[in-house]
Copies of this chain bind each other. A is one copy, B any other.
Amino acid sequence: MTAGCNCRSVEWTENMIRTISPLRANFGRCTACAVRSLSICGALDETDLVEFERIARQVHLAPSEALFSAGQVASSVHNLTAGVARLYKLLPDGRRQVIGFALPGDFLGTMPSIRYSYSADAIKRVSACRFPVDAFKHFIEQRPHFLLRINEFASRELMLAQQQMLLLGRRTAEEKVAAFLVGWRARLAHIGDERQTVSLPMSRQDIADYLGLTIETVSRTLTRFEREKMLVIVSGGVRLLDCPRAEAMAAA
């Protein structure tokens, strides 16, 4: 799942990346990529892959480092290969809405836009493939099959966003937290991390900002769930004891 990254230098500046020769070898990397089948790249055959990875650059981020920020010129799209990222929007006065958490296999980049409409930064050490928009656009334009795949990803993303609107607009704090735990567990399962203990790499503040609540309400609600024997709070996550109940709260 760590996408076989074996580069040695940890900190790359934007500048360094730009000046690297196209000849720098990372051939064979994509074919060994653990998340390929989960990502948009799953639609590419061996031939296309070779060309695709030629326009990619690896990016590595320590926790809290930014992949990109809202308002910047959107010069790249990204494909997460390892770690967890938080995607969020800020209001001028600092209020924050986390619009999603990105996991390995997730594609970040709404393409017709000139600037990033949200910010993304690492929660856990992140690795990602970075593609210059021009090269990326040129690449997909001659591959309808790939375009179709990207379309599917965008549609799924939109469906999740609509689901989240329902949650933000019409659910109680209790339902929000339960729905978050159930949904997050499903996403972890989807990438192969299916354990009884649900790992929560993001902070309480991140969860609160994702659910439109305060950190205190999230904390209190989790504590109450624990008192009610629905789960156990453990370091770095929760262990769900009564999934059916959680799913019922999250229902619809």
Contacts and interface: CB of A to CB of B under 8 A. Distances in A.
Interface of A: 89-92, 95-97, 99, 110-113, 117-118, 141-142, 144, 147-148, 150-152, 154-159, 161-166, 168-171, 209, 211-212, 251-252
Closest CB pairs A-B (n = 5): A169-B212, A161-B161, A168-B168, A97-B166, A110-B155
Contact of A161 (B111, B165, B169): B165
A144 B149 CA distance: 12
A170 B112 contact: no
Nearest to A176: B169
Contacts of A151: 111-112, 147, 150-151, 154
Contacts of A212: 168-170
A96 B162 CA distance: 12
Q: Which of A90, A96, A141, A151 has the most CB of B within 10 A?
A: A151
Given A97-B169, A166-B97, A168-B168, A158 B156 contact: no
A137 to B, nearest CB: 9
Contact of A97 (B155, B159, B165): B165
Given A144-B144, A170-B97, A252 B110 contact: no
A91 B170 contact: yes
Main secondary structure of the interface of A (DSSP, over half): helix
Contacts of A170: 91, 95-97, 209, 212
Given A142-B144, A144-B141, A252-B91, A117 B162 contact: yes
17 contacts: A89-B165, A91-B171, A96-B170, A97-B165, A99-B162, A99-B165, A99-B166, A110-B155, A112-B151, A117-B159, A144-B144, A150-B151, A154-B154, A158-B158, A158-B161, A161-B161, A168-B212
Given A161-B162, A169-B209, 16 more contacts: A90-B252, A92-B251, A97-B165, A97-B169, A99-B166, A111-B151, A112-B152, A144-B144, A144-B147, A147-B147, A151-B151, A154-B158, A165-B165, A168-B168, A169-B211, A170-B212
A155 B155 contact: no
Contacts of A99: 162, 165-166
A216 to B, nearest CB: 16
